[in-house]
Structure 1
Amino acid sequence: MNHQFQDEERYLRAQKRVKEIKGFYRHLLWYVIVNVLIILGVVAAYGWDFSKIFTFNAYSTALFWGIGIAFHWIGVFGKSVGFSKKWEERKIKEFMDKDKF
C-alpha cells in the first residue's frame, strides 16, 4: 500500500514539473511572437531609418520582458544556466544507448 502512495506522489511531482516547464516554454513563445511583431511594426512605421528603429523605446519591451524570462528560467530550471555535469552524463548515456548494435 505504501509503495502505491509513493508512486502516486512521484507522479504528481513529475506532473507539476512538466506543467512548470510547459509554462516556461509558452512564456518564451509569446515573448518571441510579441517582440517580432513589435520589431516589424517599428520597421513598418519608420522604414529602415536606423536612427529610429535602433532606439531604446523600440526595444524596451524586449529588454524588460527578457529580464522577466530570465527570472522565469531560473525559477523553473534553477540557477545552472548551460550544460551541467548531470546533463553531460545523461547525453553520454543517451548516445551510448543509441550506439548499441
Structure 2
Amino acid sequence: MNYNSAQKRVKELKSFYKNCMWFGIVALFIFFRRLMKSGDLSQSIFNGSIILTVWGIILAVKAVKLFVFDAEWENEIIEEELKKTKKPINF
C-alpha cells in the first residue's frame, strides 16, 4: 500500500469512527428523551426511530466498504482477473 492510499484509508476510518461516535450520542439522547417522556423503560427500548434506523444502515454499508471491500481486496480481485487466460473461440 502506498502513502496516498494509506492516507486516504486513514481519513475514511477517521470519518467512520466520528460518524459512529455521533450515532451513539444521538441514540443516547433519543433514548433518554423518550425515557423521560414515557417513564417506562421497556416502552423506550422497543420504540424504534426511523432516523436511527436509516443512519445505522448507512453506517453498516460504510463498515462493509471499509473493512470487507478494502483496497487489498480490490487488488486481489484485479490480480485474479489478470491471471485468467482467455482462449479464443475456434469456429
**TM bracket (short chain):** 0.5 to 0.7
**RMSD of the TM alignment (CA)?**
2.3
Instruction: Write the mapping of 1:15-94 to structure 2, written as runs, cut at 5 A.
Output: 15-48=7-40, 50-51=42-43, 53=44, 54-56=46-48, 59-79=49-69
TM-score by length of 1: 0.58
Structure 2 CA distance for aligned equivalents of residues 28 and 18 of structure 1: 15
| Closer/same/farther in 2, CA of residues 79 and 17 from structure 1, 3 Å limit | closer
Deviation at 1:46, TM superposition (A): 1.1
Structure 2 CA distance for aligned equivalents of residues 15 and 67 of structure 1: 26
What letter matches 2:29 in structure 1?
L
Aligned residues between the structures: 69
C-alpha distance after superposition, 1:52-97 (max 9, x if no partner): x2323xx3332221111100101212259xxxxxxxxxxxxxxxxx
**Structure 1 alignment gaps of length 5 or more:** 1-8, 81-101
**Identity score, percent:** 32
Choose between structure 1 and 2 for higher RCO, CA contacts under 8 A separated by at least 6 residues.
2
Structure 1 CA distance for aligned equivalents of residues 2 and 39 of structure 2: 54
Contact 1:35 1:61 in 2 (8 A): no
Structure 2 CA distance for aligned equivalents of residues 73 and 20 of structure 1: 10
TM-score by length of 2: 0.64
**Structure 2 alignment gaps of length 5 or more:** 71-91
Structure 1 CA distance for aligned equivalents of residues 69 and 2 of structure 2: 23
